Amino acid sequence: MKIPNTFNINTEAKTYLPIHSEEELLNALKQHSNVFVLGGGSNMLLTHDIDQAVLHILLKGISIVEENDDYVYIRAMAGENWHQFVMYTLEKGYGGLENLALIYGNVGTTPVQNIGAYGVEIKDVMHSCEAINVHSLKKRIFTNEECKFAYRESVFKNEEKGNYIITAVTFRLSKRNHKLYTGYGAIQEQLTSWGYSSPTPAQVATAVIAIRQSKLPDPKVLGNSGSFFKNPIISIEQFETLRTQYPSIPSYMVDDTHIKVPAGWLIDQCGLKGYRQGDTGVHTQQALVLVNYGKATGAEILALAHLVRDKVAQKFGITLEFEVNIF
């Protein structure tokens, strides 16, 4: 069976097991000691067929765990579509996830990558997550702190990599006095153009969706996995050196000694935006995104990723890290 993935790469699974309940997950883990965990098929690049048993996590369900006048703790099962879940919370009037609208994938993979956009990350809104240990088959609840979140990093990508399968995530969202982040990117500009002087979380999400749709291709139309590269974080000294050569280089302060530079800008300055090689290419509107124009293989997309990384390193002395997981 073809493995579902947003890059639309033709890779096969010898054993494919859809998982709709924790009982099915436990049974599958008892039968297969070496598994490949599949969520929404986003944020991954498949370069070969998968010999392991592919467990497609499709657990569904959304429930309120606890709430008071100010906050609601809402639990979503791992197989819930992320964007649909975000929109569900906004329809209920809850705030916190609006900047993370229109990110492809499922709820269960969001803590793994600590997904983020427009100044907000999962670490800012996640209360806890539930996971099954693939070896002991026991459930563990990870607190926000125990997830050891960092920029596009978590414990699930490092010391616990391959040890746990997330089954549910609980978020702490606001019911009133929402803290909105509109200063990142073009959100405020978009809201102002619509006449929203005191926007609601839903209106912020609408602005985010409009901005993302103007820049990013729909995977159903053009295969991609969103941002392929992380925005590099460099020292202030390195940034000041670069700024003498490139006065217009954009940046965002991370802390007193580090600055984040947009990887898309670096790639664009290398003349690679819109670059195409066979059926692989750098997107014409957003250089962070690598695309499959039709029949590209995972190996061909990976080769393009290395080309992009080499060009940026040669020009700026910055080695880009892949945000997408390579298999």
Annotated catalytic residue: which of 75, 154, 227, 309? 227
**What type of residue is 271?**
G
Question: Contact at 8 Å (CB) between 181 and 99?
Answer: yes
Tokens encoding 72: 């609601």
Q: In the 8-state DSSP scheme, what is residue 123?
A: G
Decide if 243 is catalytic. Answer: no
* 189 classed as catalytic: no
Residue 95: phi and psi, rounded to 5, are -115, 150
- For 162: left if phi > 0, alpha if psi spans -120 to 50, otherwise beta; the answer is left
Point out which residues pair with 153 in neighbouring strands. 150
Of 151, 291, 315, 161, nearest to 230 by C-alpha is 151
Catalytic residue among 42, 75, 130, 152: 152
Half-sphere exposure of 283 (CA within 13 A, CB side): 25
Written as six digits, the tokens of 149 are 């979140």
Amino acid symbol at 62 = I
Locate 3 and state its tokens. 């493995």
| Known active-site residue 323 | yes
Q: CA-to-CA distance for 107 and 85, rounded, in angstroms?
A: 8
Write out the two tokens for 86. 């975000």
Q: Which of 98, 121, 130, 323 is catalytic?
A: 323
Catalytic residues: 152, 227, 323
